[in-house]
Structure 1
Amino acid sequence: MYPRRSYSLHQSIADCRQMTLHHIFETAFGFCGIAWNERGISRFMLPMSASEAAEERMMGRLSVSGAAQPSGFALEAVAAAQRYFAGSHEDFSAYPVDLDGIDAFRRAIYRTARQLGYGRTTTYGGLAADAGFPNATRETGVALSRNPVPLIIPCHRILAAGGKLGGFSAPGGTATKQKMLALEKAASPNAPPAQASFAF
């Protein structure tokens, strides 16, 4: 006979609030994934060609999660992402993100990167300096390679010195990064152009 485990109402509510949920959705570029909890978006996955592959990749990055239809800010982010990949000018800087467990340096880099608007780019060194770490160019690149919520935190807008693309660890690699930069340039003709030649 298994021992009974009692839960209070408050414990049950707390468990629900802390639970991470995820959803795979289709865009004009392919299937994206989003994971969220009550604190904010904890994972975002850029497009893949098949929903099954997207689900597998998403689950590989989450310790515990349940599939669910998004609501609230998660639903709004999904709709914005679908519009973005269809060519719409979208601003993701106000969506809440859950960076629990991420160190202060990475948080500073991500916070500064979120201020880089649609159709704008900077370099790894420029971002590091803006975040208050002028001698941490390489560390900034490493932090961006570990970005848990690309697009929400727009690491695709950060280039290497000389305008080279630099690394990109999302599905599709630098090809995805280049497509996103081209999409933003095409959709926002009055914005300053993305730097012309695209390595960290």
Structure 2
Amino acid sequence: MPDVRFALFDTTIGRCGVVWADSGIVAVQLPHPDEAQTRGRIRQRHTDLVEALPPARVQTAIDGMVTLLQGRPIDLSSVELDLGDQPAFNREVYAITRGIPPGATLTYGAIAKRLGGVELSRSVGTALGQNPCPIVVPCHRVLAAGGKPGGFSGNGGVLTKLKMLAIEGAAVNHTPSLFD
């Protein structure tokens, strides 16, 4: 992908990263324990990147993500993404997921039904586990049956998901255990 750049930015959950091309945002990196690890994770997934100041459209997306993670509902559905390298099914899952407003949730099964049948629930979970743009594609708003949190592939796992949902004021049926 030509001319791909990235920047790091601070949020209430830690230092995140954003990767963009002329065609839109390619990836959002949730924070790792320190900035070097976050930067390393970005470079692991996207080689030959240049760190740069974000252009206005990317800065607007960053500002939106920061605002959302401060607990102020904001609609990020207008943020332009470049998901062209993602499978068609994943892009369909991401489109539905982007329609979930802050503070609300859907289940994997509800998304699967919209795509053709509840039997696609596992495939929905797989697609969300491969989500290159968390926060903008709010996969943290997708829950398992019964309002349970289900999985989360971001650093920190389900605890990060629960933290993001709590910031947004979403209700989750969950009592933390040693096995989360």
TM over 0.5: yes
> Which residue, out of 32, 35, 57, partners 1:73?
57
1:45 and 2:29 are equivalent in the alignment: yes
1:194 and 2:171 are equivalent in the alignment: yes
Question: Amino acid of the residue matched to residue 51 of structure 1?
Answer: E
1:155 and 2:139 are equivalent in the alignment: yes
Question: Amino acid of the residue matched to residue 180 of structure 1?
Answer: M
Once the 2 structures are TM-superposed, how far is the Cα of residue 196 of structure 1 from its aligned partner? 2.4
Question: Amino acid of the residue matched to residue 90 of structure 1?
Answer: I
Unpaired runs of at least 5, structure 1: 1-14, 186-192
Aligned positions, number? 176
> Which residue, out of 101, 104, 108, partners 2:85?
101
Check whether the contact 2:150–2:158 (CA below 8 A) recurs between aligned residues. Answer: yes
Residue 26 of structure 1 corresponds to: 10
SS, match of residue 92 in structure 1: coil
> Rg bigger for which structure?
1
SS, match of residue 92 in structure 2: helix
Deviations 1:16-63 (Å, cap 9, x if unpaired)? xx3110001112221000000011110001123321111111111103
1:175 and 2:159 are equivalent in the alignment: yes
1:57 and 2:41 are equivalent in the alignment: yes
2: CA distance between counterparts of 1:86 and 1:163?
Answer: 23
2: CA distance between counterparts of 1:53 and 1:134?
Answer: 37
Check whether the contact 2:108–2:143 (CA below 8 A) recurs between aligned residues. Answer: yes
1: CA distance between counterparts of 2:105 and 2:171?
Answer: 6
Check whether the contact 2:149–2:172 (CA below 8 A) recurs between aligned residues. Answer: no
Deviations 1:99-140 (Å, cap 9, x if unpaired)? 122111111111111111111101101011123343201011
2: CA distance between counterparts of 1:44 and 1:104?
Answer: 19
> Which residue, out of 121, 134, 150, partners 1:166?
150
Once the 2 structures are TM-superposed, how far is the Cα of residue 167 of structure 1 from its aligned partner? 0.9
Unpaired runs of at least 5, structure 2: 176-180
Residue 178 of structure 2 corresponds to: none
Residue 11 of structure 1 corresponds to: none
1: CA distance between counterparts of 2:172 and 2:66?
Answer: 25
Once the 2 structures are TM-superposed, how far is the Cα of residue 92 of structure 1 from its aligned partner? 1.0
SS, match of residue 152 in structure 1: coil
2: CA distance between counterparts of 1:87 and 1:54?
Answer: 23
Identity of aligned residues (%): 36
Cα RMSD for the two superposed structures: 1.7
Deviating above 6 A after TM superposition, structure 1's stretches of 4 or more consecutive aligned residues are none
Deviations 1:137-166 (Å, cap 9, x if unpaired)? 101100000000001100000011121111
TM value normalised by structure 1: 0.82
TM value normalised by structure 2: 0.91
2: CA distance between counterparts of 1:28 and 1:137?
Answer: 31
